[in-house]
């Protein structure tokens, strides 16, 4: 089994958790206050960082949770959802 194959279940888990947290707990607030900004959600805690720039949002998240697993979303756009584990590696 390749390393890429071994990471797929974790990636799917992160994506599912991130989507669930975003839609169930954060969507209304973030769309009201941060429309078209980038949110990086820590899927283990439900906490998040928001910034107008995706790199800034990731940098803030990594500063708070260096070992975090993250779901990235462009607030207000259901078409973008990026995932990453520790240090943003998918």
Residue 54 neighbours by CB under 8 Å, 6+ apart: 38, 72, 74
Q: What is the pLDDT of residue 90?
A: 47
Note down the domain range covering 39. Answer: 3-88
Contact 76, 36 (CB under 8 A): yes
Residue 29 neighbours by CB under 8 Å, 6+ apart: none
Query: How many domains does the chain contain in total?
Result: 1
Q: What is the pLDDT along the chain (90 residues), one digit of tens a residue?
A: 445 555 555 888 898 999 999 999 999 999 999 999 999 999 999 999 999 999 999 999 999 999 999 999 999 986 555 555 554 444
């Amino acid at each position: 089994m390749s390393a890429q194959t071994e990471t797929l279940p974790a990636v799917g888990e992160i994506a599912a958790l991130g989507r669930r947290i975003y839609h169930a707990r954060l969507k209304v607030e973030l769309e009201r206050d941060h429309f078209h900004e980038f949110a990086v959600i820590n899927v283990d805690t439900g906490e998040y960082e928001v910034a107008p720039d995706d790199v800034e949002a990731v940098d803030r998240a990594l500063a708070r949770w260096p070992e975090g697993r993250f779901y990235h979303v462009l607030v207000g756009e259901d078409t973008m959802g990026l995932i990453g584990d520790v240090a943003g590696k998918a």
